[in-house]
Amino acid sequence: MSFGEFLLVAVLALPALGALAVAAIPRDLPARVAGTVAAGLTLVAALALAVDRSGSWTAYAVTPPAVRPWHALDLPWVPGLELRFHLGVDGISWPLVVLTALLTLLCCGYTCWRVPPGGSGRALVALLLVVEVGILGTFLALDLVLFFLFFEIVLLPMYAIIVGWGGDGTDPAAVAARRRAARKFALYTLFGSVLLLVGVYVVVAAAGTADIVALTGGNGLARGTQLAAFTLLAVAFAVKSPLWPLHSWLPDAHTQAPTVGSVLLAGVLLKMGTYGLIRVAVGVAPEGARWAAPVLGVLAVAAILIGSLVCLAQTELKRLIAYSSVGHMGFVLLGIATLTATGIQAALIGNVAHGIITGLLFFLAGAIKDRTHTGALRELSGLRETAPRLSGLLAFAAVASLGLPGLAGFWGEAFAVVAAVEVGGALWITLAVLAAFGGALTAAYLLRLLRQVTHGTATPAVAELKPGLAGAEVAAWTPLVLLALAVGLAPTLVLGVAEAPVTALVEVLR
Amino acid sequence: MSTTTLLGALLPVVPLVAGLVGLLLPPAARGATTDRDTSRRAAIALGVAGAAGALVLAVALLVTLDAPAESSTTWIRFGELTVTLGVRLDGAAALVAVAVAAVALAVQVYSVGYLTRGPHDDTDVDHRYPPYAAQISLFTAAMLLVVVSGDLIMLLVGWEVMGICSYLLIAHDRWLPQAPAAAQKAFLVTRVGDVGFLLGIALLGVSAGSFRIADVLAHDHGTGTLTAAGLLLLAGVAGKSAQFPLHTWLPDAMAGPTPISALIHAATMVAAGVYAITRLWPLFEATPTVLAVLGVMASVTLLLGAFAATAQDDIKRVLAWSTVSQLGYMTGALAVGSPPAALFHLLTHAAFKALLFLAAGVVIHAVGTAAMSRMGGLRHSMPVTFWCMLIGLGALAGLPPLSGFWSKEGVLAAAEGAALHGDGPAPAWVGWLVWLAGLVGVAVTAWYATRLLLRTFFGAPRTPLTHPHDPPALLRWPVLALTVPAALLGLAGFPGWFASQLQRTTPSDAEGVSDLMPPDGLIHLTPTVLLPLALLLLGAGLAWAGWRRDTAADPAAALGPLRPVFAGAFRLDDVQHTLVVRPTTALARAARVADERVVDGAVTGTGRGAGALGGGLAALHRSALPRAVVAVLAGALLIALAATLIGAM
């Protein structure tokens, strides 16, 4: 077993073993610390994946495959059903793998310091690690059936996190609200999963293989099959991403989830949808993608505009940030819909930037709600008077989220617009113009948020605040702040590795 | 990378580092006094050091730059499109950089004195001074980035970071209830313009395959692309440089502290739009349509700003509207095809307008109000301020030999040439429009400048209880330093080193004909110079005559029924509110309701429907024994029937 193969296994095994260890350690705090250590080791392994990335593909093949993993592990798993345990990492998946490992580590570390009321911290950390296994597996799987399995692993632990630790208060109404939100999340995404399963089997039955490397480029799939497969897969991923109008599970789930749950949900869970769209739907059924691209583009722009408008009328902090994800993911989906190298690269960096920035925003919103016990915007005002640090960080995150050039959010949004201009034609130019106006609306709602929360005179809820931040908070937020700045100044951190695989993918789309 | 380009690259980096470090300083402890506040002192040191370092670098750049220089490296590639990280330096860039760094330094020093609250104010010291100074440093870095940037995306980075710094600084004052709204308005209005700016950049970049300015200028764009991109870029310029119809944010931005108004909303950021056009001048020169639109925009802005300035009572708002009007002169010069005239006016305006704002800040500090109706007679108690203000207002009105006279004359001469001889790239009617608007503007500017002077410094004091006095050294020296360029910079427009720096061609067309010709001065004294001089005397004389009749009354009373219209700036704010803000908020509310009731309603409805269906079926299955027996028998009968029928076929 080569070092690369070992790392691939380690990235999945470490959080899984960590979850078991957490479950086995009876005392609460040591268990949480053990879980955090496991998450930290996972991050190290994930980072190490980029070392020695010569790859196992041969450059001398007549037609090199469109997916050329740096490291791959291909083992027979259920020979009777021709299922293979096929993992691999390349420049498209690696940034997301690292982001997942980082956010899980930050969430586990945050949980060492503060456990949301509702259940034991031990169980929460274990569930976070299980979620991590599912998400990482989704990003690493190079076999469609394996991909589907990992895609599904995430669902139930996340449901448990929302029901167990979510909401605020223990009165029956609050309990019912978070049960309802979690149920909606689980059932809605299960509906997407059914389509995903059907789509996967349409592809596997028609092509006779589930190997993503072999399937990418639509080799051997008839046009009709591709159209059907793309429709099924795209709707499935659209639910997860989420794409308007299939988004309505998201605001409730985010609002009710505990801080760490929201961070993972927004930070990486949504990316499973956009990643799947790029890797599976577009890769496996390129003809279907070309056929559906205009519809996808129109829906993406609708998501940008409607998401932003709804945010402009929102009155609750976490709900506003949740809806902002609809708009931001709209930019990502617009980038994918252009099916150009520019657009897909924009989508990749948009994915990562949204994970960093929205993760930070949810951490901050959680901190504000924990301190003031309210999320209603009209009960929050004058934060900069009593908590200048928190208010400054909120301003930074909001400014990053509105896509300020020089910070991470800019590249994905601006270049999704540029990609649409690049495609040309009346439809795509119109979409570019509307998306750019969506950028102005994004600024409008985030500035409205800042004006409401940070400026003005302090409301009673805010006046009680202490100015300081806890050490764990600083430790959890600093990496995100630095990354938002670093990715903004050096986008090549994310895209440097992605250029080659994206070019290879776009080659087969032509 | 040569020494010159290294200097250019370091120029934004130095204040950036000062700004980022400054943001990390802890806020001052509440209740701490000014002299025992270490984080305030560190913030002052960082801010002043950042601006001074930038000034030294800018001057060094100006001295060492003997030919246009360019250096770049790939920043990131998006598919076929290359984004570069690089500088593009020429004489104009170096001069603007010196102006930016000099005003920034003056403002950093001035702010130390301006943003203190003594014990008699019953409030503690401004505990948010560290972020304030850091944001000025960040702003300086962003503006310098725009000045030296060799790539359109880099330029956009600086462009928007300036916007956010402007936003943060306008909202700085926690005692002003209108400040947050003004800040939000400033950012959003410019952001709407930036929608066009981004799309224009996208069009040019996609057409050229690169965002490097040199590549974009060298590429042969189609006429349609060029016109569309030019018009889109103009939207961004209109937002940043407060041109009609996106000018509405600038007067409200006066809610920011006065030094901020001087730096951002008068001397530098608002000039960025003008500067951006000069950077991309070959593209604009090739599209007369775009220049015609710019000419109309400039003329409307010029007159709108001038008339609105006549009726304001707030001293800062007079200056703000005069900025709008002077920006109209600059864009007008561009519309008639004279970037050097625009840059010359940009530089003199930076000097005299920064001076005017800082001097106005001194007055506001001394009197405790910005309303001119409560000032008057300050000439005796504040002589230094009076003389500084006099020089600034003279330069603004265009009184020879102060700087504004020469640069405004340059703009008018260019417009005259375009009108009478068809010199400019745009049609001759654009020249006529800009020239006539410019001439009317001269008279109106002289009128409101005289009014401001008379209302503030002459006549009897209208708030006799206060005892105004000239400012302490920290406020006085920046003001005095700025009077020098405000008075003398115009003389640099005669043929010589300065003029050749502004007229120097950029690297892309270094082989062009213009390089072979000897550099021309920026000043063209012709007999028609008497025309603006006569108009100047007319305007100033009218204001003085009106004031003579009753020294206590406002000369603006002479405007009669027009006065409220001018004071409300033709009610364009209301128009904007009715046409844009209210529909958008209504749409937002509608979108939210529709999203919750219709889109989510369908989902929850499906869930509820499925639940009800399940419940119904469950109820059927829970029926009592007789009905269940009947159902089973009926089912058996049906199956038997079906089997018989199928078997019989």
Confidence of residue B117 (pLDDT cuts 50, 70, 90): low
Residue of A nearest to B604 (CA): A184
Confidence of residue B29 (pLDDT cuts 50, 70, 90): low
pTM: 0.91
Q: Is the pLDDT of residue B107 over 80?
A: yes
Per-residue pLDDT reduced to its tens digit, B234-243: 999 999 999 9
CA–CA distance, A346 with A335 (Å, rounded to integer): 6
Residue with tokens 């080193």: B497
Per-residue pLDDT reduced to its tens digit, B418-437: 888 887 788 889 999 999 99
Q: Provide the 10 A C-beta neighbour count for residue B615.
A: 10
Contact B592 A444 (CB under 8 A): no
Q: Is the pLDDT of residue A419 over 90?
A: yes
Q: Is the pLDDT of residue B517 over 50?
A: no
Q: Is the pLDDT of residue A59 over 50?
A: no
Give the pLDDT of residue B563.
85
The stretch A39-60 carries a mean pLDDT of 75
Q: Is the pLDDT of residue B268 over 90?
A: no
Q: Is the pLDDT of residue A333 over 90?
A: yes
| Eight-class DSSP state of B624 | -
- Judged by a CB distance cut-off of 8 A, whether residue A415 touches chain B is yes
CA–CA distance, B486 with B478 (Å, rounded to integer): 12
Assigned token pair, B93:
């860039």
Report which of A417, A434, A430 is spatially closest to residue B198, judged by C-alpha positions: A417
Give the pLDDT of residue A382.
83
Q: Is the pLDDT of residue B586 over 80?
A: yes
Assigned token pair, A114:
């503060």
| B62, B148 contact by CB (below 8 A) | no
The stretch B526-542 carries a mean pLDDT of 87
Per-residue pLDDT reduced to its tens digit, B313-365: 899 999 999 999 999 999 999 999 889 899 999 999 999 999 999 999 988 88
The stretch A175-181 carries a mean pLDDT of 87
Cα A455 from chain centroid (whole Å): 31
| Eight-class DSSP state of B399 | -
Handedness of CA B488, B493, B499, B503 (dihedral sign): positive
Confidence of residue A464 (pLDDT cuts 50, 70, 90): confident
CA–CA distance, B415 with A134 (Å, rounded to integer): 69
- Judged by a CB distance cut-off of 8 A, whether residue A312 touches chain B is yes
Q: Which candidate from B80, B202, B588 shows the least CB-CB separation from A421? A: B202
Q: Is the pLDDT of residue A234 over 50?
A: yes
Contact A406 B161 (CB under 8 A): yes
| A378, A368 contact by CB (below 8 A) | no
Confidence of residue A497 (pLDDT cuts 50, 70, 90): confident
Give the pLDDT of residue B140.
94
Q: Which of residues 549-568 of B touch A (CB under 8 A)?
A: none
| A347, A412 contact by CB (below 8 A) | yes
Q: Is the pLDDT of residue A317 over 70?
A: yes
Give the pLDDT of residue B129.
84
| Eight-class DSSP state of A464 | T
Q: Which of residues 371-430 of B touch A (CB under 8 A)?
A: none
The stretch A221-233 carries a mean pLDDT of 89
CA–CA distance, B612 with B630 (Å, rounded to integer): 25
Residue of B nearest to A488 (CA): B157
% of chain B exceeding 90 in pLDDT: 41
Cα A334 from chain centroid (whole Å): 16
Distances in Å between the Cα of A153 and the Cα atoms of A129, B94, B175 are 11, 60, 53
Confidence of residue B469 (pLDDT cuts 50, 70, 90): confident
Confidence of residue B520 (pLDDT cuts 50, 70, 90): low
Report which of B523, B504, B477 is spatially closest to residue B62, judged by C-alpha positions: B504
Residue with tokens 């409101």: B448
E strand map for A206-269: none
A–B interface: beta-carbon pairs under 8 A: 146
Give the pLDDT of residue A104.
93
Confidence of residue B515 (pLDDT cuts 50, 70, 90): very low
| Eight-class DSSP state of B24 | H
Give the pLDDT of residue A79.
81
Say which amino acid occupies B283.
L
- Judged by a CB distance cut-off of 8 A, whether residue A18 touches chain B is no
Pairing of strands B69-78, A83-89: unpaired
Q: Which of residues 241-270 of A touch B (CB under 8 A)?
A: 244-245, 247-249
Residue with tokens 């219209």: B565
Contact A313 B592 (CB under 8 A): yes
Q: How far is A221 from chain B (nearest CA, A)?
A: 27
Give the pLDDT of residue B516.
36
Give the pLDDT of residue A211.
85
Q: Is the pLDDT of residue B63 over 70?
A: yes
Give the pLDDT of residue A56.
45
Say which amino acid occupies A186.
A
Q: In chain B, what residues touch A249 (CB-CB under 8 Å)?
A: 603
Per-residue pLDDT reduced to its tens digit, A368-391: 988 888 888 888 888 888 888 888
CA–CA distance, A301 with A304 (Å, rounded to integer): 5
The burial of B461, by beta-carbon neighbours within 10 Å (0-12 exposed, 13-18 middle, 19 or more buried), is given as: middle
Q: Is the pLDDT of residue B525 over 80?
A: no
CA–CA distance, B428 with B417 (Å, rounded to integer): 9
Contact B187 A447 (CB under 8 A): yes
Of A132-146, B276-290, B298-312, B563-577, which range is least confident?
B563-577
Report which of B587, B565, B586 is spatially closest to residue B574, judged by C-alpha positions: B565
Residue, of B508 and B404, whose pLDDT is higher: B404
Name every residue whose Cβ is closer than 8 Å to that of residue B259 and which is 6 or more positions away in sequence.
B107, B110, B111, B114, B115, B357, B358, B361
Confidence of residue B393 (pLDDT cuts 50, 70, 90): very high
Residue of B nearest to A432 (CA): B199
Q: In chain A, what residues touch B202 (CB-CB under 8 Å)?
A: 414, 417-418, 421-422, 432
Give the pLDDT of residue A62.
52
State chain B's mean pLDDT as an integer: 86
Give the pLDDT of residue B231.
94
Of A3-7, B491-495, B523-527, B560-564, which range is least confident?
B523-527
- Judged by a CB distance cut-off of 8 A, whether residue B24 touches chain A is no
Q: Is the pLDDT of residue B446 over 90?
A: yes
Per-residue pLDDT reduced to its tens digit, B164-217: 999 999 988 877 888 888 999 999 999 999 999 999 999 999 999 899 999 999
- Judged by a CB distance cut-off of 8 A, whether residue A342 touches chain B is yes
Per-domain residue ranges of chain A: 3-509
Q: How far is B192 from chain A (nearest CA, A)?
A: 6
Q: Which of residues 165-224 of B touch A (CB under 8 A)?
A: 167-168, 171, 174, 177, 179-181, 183-184, 187-188, 191-192, 194-195, 198-199, 202-203, 205-206
Give the pLDDT of residue B499.
77
CA–CA distance, A45 with B607 (Å, rounded to integer): 42
Give the pLDDT of residue B119.
38
Confidence of residue A198 (pLDDT cuts 50, 70, 90): very high
Q: Is the pLDDT of residue A280 over 50?
A: yes
